[in-house]
Structure 1
Amino acid sequence: MKRKISALAAVLLAIGLTACGNNEGQATNDTTQTIQAESSKEIEAVDNTEEEAQQVETSEAVSNTNDEIVEDTSTENTDGSEENSGVLVVYFSATGTTKGVAEKIAGITGADTYEIKAAQEYTDADLNWNDSNSRSTKEQNDSSVRPEIGSDAISLDGYTTIYIGYPIWWGEEPRIMDTFVESYSFDGITMIPFCTSSSSGIGRSGQNLADNAGSGTWIDGKRFGAGASEDEIRSWIEGLQ
């Protein structure tokens, strides 16, 4: 009988120890899971903090960039206009000779330049004065011809003096110059013609332009050869004052 009781007690003791072991294991698992959950929360909190910090830095960078843009654009002219020098050199040059003189005038006076370009460029054949059927010969024989200008239009606002240059063709200004002066108003502007040629003088070309323009104050012009020096041009300009 005592042996049975001892055996039963041993069995009950074993069961109790097993239960305690299971409970301790479960407690350990619960503790581990709790620690892991808290660690995850801490990591998530750190991540969120770093993300918020990055967002703040990005926001500040964008704000600074916008401020810089505002500062840069505040220096621009609000009306989109640009100041000019007050002096303009307008020229037509089929072979480059008149262009050379025009650039020297601009360099001496600090003037802006505007090149009159034909919508249909003149070829060597067009400029053959020995050919009675060449384009330039036909144009110069008809004072009513007005060749089309291919250059963009220019605003004359702010200009008070305009040097206007061209080659001499058949003793007169090329007809494209008449196209130009008839396309603009020169009120309040002093107009100064100049021309280039191998031998012919300026003739009536300046007066023709003044008559066709119908506006502006036109003064006597000057003829230059292909080899006109800067000193020669400067002397003429100074003599105008």
Structure 2
Amino acid sequence: MKKGKLLLSALLLAILLAGCSQESEQDAQPAQTPEITSGTVPKRATAGTDDQKKSSGGTNGNVLIAYFSVPEAVGVDAVARASRVVEDGEVVGNTQFVAETIQQETGGEIFRIETVQEYPGDHDELVDFGENELAEDARPDLKNQIENLENYDTIFIGYPVWAGDLPMPLYTLLESTDFSGKTIIPFSTHGGSGFSGTIGTLEDLQPDATINTNGLTVSREDVSESREDIVQWVNSLSVKQ
């Protein structure tokens, strides 16, 4: 009788020890990490990126810098000529200089507004040509159009002020391109008129866009010394790519 009880106790003890051993092995296994398919981004990561854009304090989304510039290339030393600047040994237009500085600060894409016709490289001839276009209310044909406009939320638009108005190629662009829902930030170069009435003209031509009236206009006599002012202005807008 005693032998039977001893055998039964030993059997029960063996079963208990085996169960404890299995539980210990299960606890020791590492937790399984869910597999993330290559190329997919968790939704929280996307939301975090959007939050970072919002926290910048500026306009969200991609940036485009579109500008029209005609460097004068005839007759006078480039440093002295009012409508061109020497940048790293290269002659560039005043408005081009401002546009490229904005591009460097924002990391945005740059787009040069170019016409099919060529403009005179001589200062006096260029002034006469621009005034004639204005008198004729001309709409010069453009070589190119902005591609993938839907990719951009903020559009810097730059131009020289000619005879107190936009150059006529700007009318061509603004009448043929719908900037609805975009934020337009103007910048210009001038010979004494400042923006003149051009910001109001932008508002008239693009009524469904938001025109930022805190634009930058630079005298043609000051362009070569204006880099620091341009950088400070861009930083005040808190617009980054």
Establish whether TM, by shorter chain, passes 0.5. yes
Structure with bigger helix share is 1
- 1:147-193 Cα shifts (integer Å, max 9, x gaps): 11112442211211010000010111101101111111112210001
* CA 127–230 in structure 1, closer or farther in 2 if over 3 Å, else same: same
What value does the CA root-mean-square deviation take over the aligned residues?
A: 2.3
1:110 equivalent among 107, 110, 135? 107
Letter matched to residue 138 of structure 1: N
How far apart, CA to CA, are the structure 2 residues paired with 1:115 and 1:128?
Answer: 22
Deviation at 1:104, TM superposition (A): 0.2
Unaligned runs of 5+ in 1: 1-74, 76-84
Residue 125 of structure 2 aligns with which residue?
A: 128
How far apart, CA to CA, are the structure 1 residues paired with 2:124 and 2:107?
Answer: 32
Letter matched to residue 178 of structure 1: Y
Structure 1 runs (4+) deviating above 6 angstroms are none
Q: How many residues align?
A: 155
How far apart, CA to CA, are the structure 1 residues paired with 2:177 and 2:145?
Answer: 13
Contact 1:177-1:209 within 8 A present in 2 as well:
no
How far apart, CA to CA, are the structure 2 residues paired with 1:122 and 1:171?
Answer: 18
Residue 154 of structure 1 aligns with which residue?
A: 147
TM-score computed with the length of structure 2 as normaliser: 0.59
Contact 2:111-2:146 within 8 A present in 1 as well:
no
2:230 equivalent among 204, 229, 233? 233
Determine whether 1:137 maps to 2:131: yes
Contact 2:115-2:169 within 8 A present in 1 as well:
yes
TM-score computed with the length of structure 1 as normaliser: 0.59
Determine whether 1:189 maps to 2:182: yes
Residue 12 of structure 1 aligns with which residue?
A: none
Determine whether 1:93 maps to 2:69: yes
Letter matched to residue 140 of structure 1: L
How far apart, CA to CA, are the structure 2 residues paired with 1:218 and 1:93?
Answer: 21
Look at both structures and tell me which one has the larger radius of gyration over its CA atoms: 1
Determine whether 1:177 maps to 2:170: yes
Unaligned runs of 5+ in 2: 1-38, 40-60, 72-92
* CA 217–192 in structure 1, closer or farther in 2 if over 3 Å, else same: same
How far apart, CA to CA, are the structure 1 residues paired with 2:168 and 2:191?
Answer: 19
Deviation at 1:198, TM superposition (A): 3.1
Deviation at 1:224, TM superposition (A): 1.3
Letter matched to residue 131 of structure 2: T
Give SS of 1:162's match.
strand
- 1:70-124 Cα shifts (integer Å, max 9, x gaps): xxxxx9xxxxxxxxx7000000001111001100000001110000001101013
Contact 1:127-1:136 within 8 A present in 2 as well:
no
- 1:30-89 Cα shifts (integer Å, max 9, x gaps): xxxxxxxxxxxxxxxxxxxxxxxxxxxxxxxxxxxxxxxxxxxxx9xxxxxxxxx70000
Deviation at 1:215, TM superposition (A): 2.6
Letter matched to residue 92 of structure 1: F
> Which moves more between the two structures, 121-130 or 209-218?
121-130
How far apart, CA to CA, are the structure 2 residues paired with 1:223 and 1:214?
Answer: 22
Contact 1:172-1:205 within 8 A present in 2 as well:
yes
Residue 79 of structure 2 aligns with which residue?
A: none
